[in-house]
């Protein structure tokens, strides 16, 4: 397994596109075909839309999804439909209720977002990263960060099952009852890639077309070289060459190459990255967008951000 290397290039250019007022945190973001972004937030299940190329980008609340207090992961289902996970997560119990909202996003002219239907996901209190199966895009895999499970949700018939469980997905031997295991999920070339926040690992499982695990886990890299002082992986995005850009608490983005070589790409101590939560590539891959949770300790406290970081 590869360890952390120092940055191999000059610090990239970083600009803040937008910042929410406290206590709104940005949980995740998703890049639409028109280059704009959808943002899931921690307050009132509000879904926001932002044009990162606008002269003065602003976050537009396009829909508030019912029955949740926070939104988490995204997945594209095709034909302008998207899945968004949400609910009222409890700190440490698997006994809860989450849901997956199926929304329609229209971007011709003014953006218009409508709720199509809701899939109930009972018996879990945590859904984080989400990825649609390439051959069955109406079916999504979702990370149960507390239970250490990969859930399979068919958004067409509303069926929910457990695709698989594994020790590499669980919070491990953490004594913190609210610790989170598997967080980010992406499917690439027959593998389900994941981050585990508590175990501080980045790895992958081989899966079949239905999302079932077909082999042993492979841990590609980890954060063992960094003191465990709140430093952990969150969600991530891939470029076309297979490099992963990973949000790392409390203040950085790491780049992990296909062979597992890891380096600090942006941010770090004393940077303006206030609790990175997710990363997505721009459609032209010339930049990455980073969402953050904001800062709720010390002074000043602040809301979540959307940052743009130049690539190359």
SS (H, E, C) the chain: CECEECCCCCCCCEEEEEECCCCCCEEEEEECCCCCEEEEECCCCEEEEECCCCCCCCEEEEEECCCCCEEEEEEEEECCEEEEEEECCCCCCCCCEEEEEEEEEECCCCCEEEEEEEEEEECCCCCCCEEEECCEEEEEEEEECCCCEEEEEECCCCCEEEEEECHHHCCCCCCCCCCCCEEEEEEECCEEEEEECCCCEEEEEEECCCCCECCCCEEEEECCCCCCCCCEEEEEEECCCCCEEEEEECCEEEEECCCCCEEEEEECCCCCCCCEEEEEECCCCCEEEEEECCECCCCCCECCEEEEEECC
Q: Would you write out the chain's pLDDT as a tens digit for each of its 312 residues?
A: 555 766 656 789 999 999 999 999 999 999 999 999 999 998 889 999 999 999 999 999 999 999 999 999 999 999 999 999 999 765 544 456 899 999 999 999 899 999 999 999 998 889 999 999 999 999 999 999 999 999 999 999 999 999 999 999 999 876 676 789 999 999 999 999 999 999 999 999 999 999 999 999 999 999 998 887 789 999 999 999 999 999 999 999 999 999 999 999 999 988 999 999 999 999 999 999 999 999 988 778 999 999 999 997
pLDDT tens per residue across span 221-232: 999 988 877 899
């Amino acid at each position: 397994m590869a360890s952390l290397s120092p940055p191999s290039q000059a610090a990239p250019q970083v600009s803040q596109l937008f910042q929410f007022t406290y206590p709104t945190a940005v949980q995740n973001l998703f890049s639409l075909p028109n280059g704009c972004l959808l943002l899931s937030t921690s307050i009132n299940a509000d879904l926001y839309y932002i044009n990162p190329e606008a002269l003065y980008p602003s976050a537009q609340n396009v829909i508030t999804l019912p029955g949740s207090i926070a939104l988490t992961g995204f997945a594209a289902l095709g034909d302008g439909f998207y899945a968004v996970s949400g609910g009222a997560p409890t700190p440490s119990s698997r006994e809860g209720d989450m849901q997956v909202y199926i929304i329609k996003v229209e971007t011709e002219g003014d953006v218009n977002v409508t709720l199509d239907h809701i899939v109930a996901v009972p018996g879990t209190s945590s859904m984080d990263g989400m990825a649609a199966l390439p051959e069955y895009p109406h079916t999504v895999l979702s990370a149960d960060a507390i239970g250490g499970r990969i859930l399979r949700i068919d958004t067409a018939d509303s069926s929910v099952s457990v695709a698989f469980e594994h020790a590499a997905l669980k919070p491990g031997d953490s004594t913190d009852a609210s610790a989170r295991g598997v967080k980010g999920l992406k499917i690439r070339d027959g593998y389900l890639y994941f981050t585990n926040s508590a175990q501080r690992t980045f790895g992958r499982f081989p899966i079949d077309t239905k999302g079932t695990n077909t082999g042993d886990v492979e841990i590609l890299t980890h954060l063992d070289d960094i003191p465990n002082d709140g430093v952990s992986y969150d969600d991530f995005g891939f470029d076309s060459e297979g490099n992963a850009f990973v949000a790392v608490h409390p203040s950085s983005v790491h780049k992990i190459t296909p062979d597992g070589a890891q380096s600090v790409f942006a941010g770090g101590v004393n940077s303006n990255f206030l609790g990175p939560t997710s990363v997505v590539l721009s459609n032209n891959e010339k930049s990455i967008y980073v969402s953050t949770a904001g800062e709720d300790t010390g002074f000043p406290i602040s809301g979540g951000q959307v940052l743009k970081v130049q690539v190359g």
